[in-house]
Amino acid sequence: MKKLVLYIFGLITIGVSTTSCSDFLDRADTNDGYTSNGFFNSEISIKEGVTGIYANMYMNLGYNVPHVITLDHFTPLALERNENTTIGAGGGLNPENASVQSFWTFLYTNIARANELISGAKAYEETLNAKSFQYLAEAHVLRAFCYYYLIGLWGDVPFFDTPVTTEQYSVSRTSKVEILDFIIKDINSVAEQLPWIAEDRGRVDRAFAYGVIARAGLLGGGLNYGGKSSEYFKAAAEAASKVIGQRGLAQNFEDLWTIAGQAKSDVRNEFIFELPYSNTASVQMINVIAFGQVSRIQGQTGRHPSSMLADTYECIDGKRIDESPLYDPRHPQKNRDPRFGATLWMHGDTCTTNNGSINTIILEAYELTTKQYNYTTNTWEERNNDDMNSAAAWASFCNAGVGYIWAKYSKEIDENISSASCNVPIMRYAEILLSYAEAKIELNELDQSVYDAINQVRNRAGMPDVSADRIGNQDKMRQLVRRERKVEFALEGLHIFDMRRWGIGDIENDQPSYGLPLPTIRYEGMSATDIPNFKKSARHDLNDIPSYDIYKSKLKVRDVNRYWDKKFELWPIPQQERNRNPNLAQNEGY
């Protein structure tokens, strides 16, 4: 049968020639043994094949920003510049959404490339060496990872594990349970062919393979796929437990987000899978994450953190802000979990980044002027505050946003943030620890290994151990691990899946986005009792969802039309795909 043109071997060459990812992608290999007849018959040809998959894993959904950044902006933890344009905020999630279509296309392109490689190499398995089988295992894991994204976002989807024929392209959707079972089985069948830590940054290794099972197991367990919740949580815990001890955490959380920090061996050890960027290769691959999220004085502001995220960070005593005597509404950034300052900037903070040269300012949310440091004279100088007083001020953190800026990725001094080569983690060892803990908590298997896993993540950040009142209490431990996932992984693309697994889309989207005090109030005008209420309901309390009803009249508000519809629990099947395949049923409600 004639294969549908979803995959063309030439795309591999195109991907390699136009995408510079890391050392292993930058090197152009030549070998007289490579032949176009039977393509995948040698180590070099199989390596070329899997390189074609890696080249497409960036999956940028716009503005040269990796997909993990965009995914967080489909949740209430982050805001886009324009109001009411994303999930739960005005109906921007629809079958015509460009990001939805792009992500679907990226994922199926990767799967098609993997299928072609895996199927094409089968005839030569008896003659292939161990390295060839390692590369094939990488393709298996990347394919499984793409299917995890597909079932997590769309539920039942078309499933193919061999090259697609014209007849197969008109098939309907396969059960997410069947696909999840395939993910776990397929990865387990090849994982031991991979090293525990990849020789080259950006390659798949055994830690990532088991990490994908942990993610997929949490998804199936949380949503009780096929009524097999316990089975999937057990699979997640077992997979994560295999990785624990094989890798480690970086010593300094902030090192994870700068090019200098990422050169350190302990950061390399924590990054289980990352998207590598390069500003030295013959063909550059850069990102503009930081440039699109800093002050208007330092770059552009198109993406913003929300107060819902900011108010989730505990105080340094390990207590939530409504329970800690250390919290001060007049100075919200003081006495907070150090990850607050590593992830967020706000009014009054001193912000340093490199936008062609080192640029240090005082972030000002109210005045027409602010301070900027002059490195020539070593003095602070008064300057125009572009966040309040420029043609683009409407898009600033205090106008389009709600008073916060992403400091994560922005604290860069060694390279220009408009052409950054800082790598982007897709999975970190911290996730393995928290995934293990969450799976064990959901199984109600509360033992010392659970507390140790969470304590490692908290202690690295400078936070205290799990408090005594949580020991042995499933609900309190469930609350803590969910809190940790929010504050540890902000801007890493995990919360859209967590929000679905925990069933909290409705309460995260049941109010507008509130933010900094109004100009007539300012922070100094806030009362000591102006603290979010996390106990609107037991579900709000469990999931740290704040309500601002008591003092909302003092706060900036946006996304006033925010709402939740049950259909948002899944993304819509792109209309373009349904036009191509009439048998592809739409998700309910779209």
Summarize pLDDT for 91-134 with one digit per residue, the tens: 789 999 999 999 999 999 999 999 999 999 999 999 999 999 99
Summarize pLDDT for 324-345 with one digit per residue, the tens: 999 999 999 999 999 999 999 9
pLDDT band of residue 271 (cuts 50, 70, 90) is: very high
B/e letters for 51-68, b = 16+ CB within 10 Å, e = fewer, are bbbbbbbbbebeeebbbb
The pLDDT, as a whole number, for residue 170 is 84
What are the sequence ranges of the domains in the chain?
290-418
Please, which contacts does 577-584 make with residues 24 or more away whose CB atoms are closer than 8 Å?
577/101, 577/104, 578/95, 580/169, 581/158, 581/169, 581/170, 581/171, 582/170, 583/170, 583/171, 583/172, 584/158, 584/172, 584/173
The SS3 call for residue 280 is coil
Rounded Cα distance, 40 and 319, in Å: 56
Percent composition of the chain: helix, strand, coil (DSSP 3-state, to 5): 45, 10, 45
The pLDDT, as a whole number, for residue 6 is 33
pLDDT band of residue 166 (cuts 50, 70, 90) is: confident
pLDDT above 70 as % of the chain: 93
The pLDDT, as a whole number, for residue 558 is 96
Quote the tokens at residue 215: 């993610």
pLDDT (mean) for 504-514: 96
pLDDT (mean) for 422-443: 98
The pLDDT, as a whole number, for residue 84 is 81
Quote the tokens at residue 476: 């309190």
pTM: 0.93
Rounded Cα distance, 103 and 475, in Å: 35
Residue that the structure tokens 């896993």 belong to? 453
pLDDT above 90 as % of the chain: 87
The answer to whether the beta carbons of residues 51 and 12 sit under 8 Å apart is yes
Rounded Cα distance, 426 and 316, in Å: 28
The pLDDT, as a whole number, for residue 23 is 32
The pLDDT, as a whole number, for residue 14 is 31
Summarize pLDDT for 8-42 with one digit per residue, the tens: 233 333 333 333 333 322 332 333 333 334 789 99
Tell me: pLDDT of 1 over 80: no
Summarize pLDDT for 457-484 with one digit per residue, the tens: 999 999 999 999 999 999 999 999 999 9
Residue that the structure tokens 């990812």 belong to? 21
Tell me: pLDDT of 519 over 70: yes
